[in-house]
Structure 1
């Protein structure tokens, strides 16, 4: 009689574990697949702020003309970034003034600038964060 109860209890425990595991697999499969594609282009545009052309001297005897699109993670972040336009422009000018023309040439230089701007702008953000900085215009002279 003890063995029969023990077998029934173990069977019940295994059945519960199997049901929980199946539920977890279904949940993970259903909800993790939505975010793997990333945001749609409409979402990117909805939460992005354009920074108009900035012309500034570089650390070398050159100058740069650049414009940016900055993608945020929410409407609140976009609104905050719009209000912080003067700070964003200041951050960009400061960052560019430390660069030499050779630092901005090529893909690697531009990616480094984008990452540096993202990090520095996120330091001043309070209601969200910058997801990506895109260079929309670039001219080095």
Structure 2
């Protein structure tokens, strides 16, 4: 190629380093292409990281009764394992919260939304690994 051996060796080393750099860049980009943590979770992710409570029936302060069940979405698999172990504590929190409410406080979407928010906050105080993202009401009857 060139008459000077030193120039040939330098060109070979330069091309080899360039190829290694490009290959490293491609591999790092490919393997670290993680999903955006601020992106909304898909429905499959929500279901995968959720715990369904059993149906709860209890009296309200207004001498009515409520029958309800909830889906609790958490932020990690470790939190899901913890919430599954704490099912008796979840039932306790739900029963106490419901028995302290009147039917008028739980009526309508605002009442349910406020109740879900209160339950989420109480559960997050209880959690040691991860946190509760959302509490969904899956069934609701007040009589």
TM-score normalised by L of structure 2: 0.74
Equivalent of 1:91 in 93, 112, 121? 93
1:38 is aligned to 40
Question: Greater Rg, structure 1 or structure 2?
Answer: 2
Equivalent of 1:55 in 54, 57, 72? 57
RMSD, aligned CA: 1.4
Instruction: Give the length in aligned residue pairs.
Output: 110
In the TM superposition, structure 1's runs of 4+ consecutive aligned residues that sit over 4 Å from their partners are: none
Structure 1 residue ranges without an equivalent (≥5): 1-30
Matched residue SS, 1:52: coil
TM-score normalised by L of structure 1: 0.75
Instruction: For 1:1-141, list aligned pairs within 5 A.
Output: 34-141=36-143
Structure 2 CA distance for aligned equivalents of residues 95 and 71 of structure 1: 19
